[in-house]
Amino acid sequence: MKRINNSVLVLSLFAGMMYTHAQEKKQLSLDEAVQLGIQNSKSLKIDAAKIEEATADLLAAKNRQLPDLSVSASYLYLPVRPTIDLKIPGVSTAGSPEVHQVAYGSANVTVPIYSGGRIKYGIQSAKYLVEASKLSTENDKVAIAYNVAQAYNNLFKANQSIKVLEENLSASQKRDETFLKLENNGVIARNDRLKANLQTSNIELQLLEAKNNYNIANINMDLLLGLPENTEIEVDEAYINEMQEAKPVDFYLNTAQENRKDLQALQQQRKAASVGTKAAKAESLPTIALTGGYVAADVPNFFTMYNAVNVGLGIQYNISNLWKKNSALKQSQAREKQLSATDEMLNDNIKLEVNREYQNADYFKQRIAVFEKSSVQADENYRITKNKYDNGLATMTELLDADAAKIAATVGVINAKADAALAYRKLVQTTGTLTNN
């Protein structure tokens, strides 16, 4: 039985060593993580495809101003001799040659001269929509940068909790050993020693939860950054000190108005809609095009024609426009109204977001001082309670409660600093400049 247990222990150790070896560690600063997240973002790949689609629409709009050239040719075989009756005075069809095949070809070119502005407006609208797609992509980059920062913050907090809990677990286990000796020597009651053991078990449970949170946060980061799922990311703790002194809220509001890409994208869409309205009005105007063609035909033993060139001017106008309502114009005008209302709503939302995150950033910054004060108080409380306990003036329960409060206060300070750093980045995100910093 002992040999089997030893074998299991060796296999467990070997498996643990293999797993540790398989875990690839990668140290990343927050800015490096953001860059990786942007480079490997699946949503940005979708945005890139949308830009390509908008660019293709622009190319199609430009193609409409170029000449259209078509070439056609046909060859016909006539198994039955056709009846030919020429109506040319003085020309007899009697004894006409047998015709069994006909070949002819033509080439036609059309050059648009005037289309009421439809082509020009179509190109302008497509350009605005391409720019809107690019700006939407930039806006998505800002959102991705914050998502990565949020995931990085969660990973940092989980890692710090593990460190604090591991230190306290080690101290608690040593205390358990001391209390066991004291119990054996009759200095303390068994009940007091069991209370200390229970505290140790609670710390172990907290540590297991912290490690579970860390593993989930690490996998989330790997997926966000496009890294293998077994990559263990080591965070740079210095990022929690990156906060800057807050400027007046008007500074952030003005910055948002100048830099928010979603607002700029909407403005481009409004320009495209405005041009679309002009194009819709042009639908009621005629189109004029320069036309030209070339025709050649050959009927063996009967008829041959070459160099039949024609040049002309074509005018097209849909008479039904006189009594039909221009539905395209109505739709385009409605689209303009929708985008105008959307613009007003987005501006209101931006003001709300900036003001809200400005207040949150200030709130989380003030929380740091409160948690630091609480940590100092918890440390002093534990010191006093420990001294009282050693002199028989405090119970074991009071000592354990003081120790638990000290652990919670220590973790609280770390989390408060991390949350404040993230809140500042959220404020910067609302201004549209997070990827600029």
Provide the token pair at 402: 């003081």
Residue 420 and residue 368 in contact, taking contact as beta carbons nearer than 8 Å: yes
- Domain 25-66+116-285+328-436: give its CATH code: 1.20.1600.10
pLDDT over threshold 50, residue 424: yes
Would you put residue 88 in left (φ > 0), alpha (ψ -120 to 50) or beta?
A: beta
pLDDT score recorded for residue 17:
46
* Banded model confidence at residue 378, pLDDT cuts 50, 70, 90: very high
pLDDT per position as a tens digit, 27-80: 888 889 999 999 999 899 999 999 999 999 999 999 888 899 999 999 888 887
| Strands of 150-302, DSSP E | 231-235, 287-299
> Could you report the per-residue pLDDT of 328-369, keeping only the tens digit for each?
899 999 999 999 999 999 999 999 999 999 999 999 999 999
Contact 265, 143 (CB under 8 A): no
- Judged by DSSP in three states, 66 sits in coil
Residue ranges of the alpha helices (H) in 242-284?
249-259, 261-281
CB count within 10 Å of CB 373 equals: 12
Would you say residue 166 has pLDDT above 80? yes
Percent of the chain clearing pLDDT 70 (strictly above): 92
Task: Give the per-residue pLDDT at 137.
Answer: 93
Query: What phi-psi label fits residue 25: left (phi over 0), alpha (psi between -120 and 50 degrees) or beta?
Result: beta
**What is the crossing angle of helices 190-225 and 396-430, to 10°?**
20
- C-alpha distances (whole Å) from 5 to each of 9, 14, 173 are 6, 14, 25
- Is a pLDDT exceeding 80 seen at residue 82? no
Q: Please, which residues bridge with residue 303 across strands?
A: 299
Determine what percent of the chain is predicted with pLDDT higher than 90: 47
Task: Work out the pLDDT band at 11, boundaries 50, 70, 90.
Answer: very low
Higher pLDDT, 193 or 227: 227
pTM confidence score: 0.79
pLDDT on residue 56: 94
HEC string for 71-87: EEEEEEECCCCCCCCCC
The domains of the chain are located at: 25-66+116-285+328-436
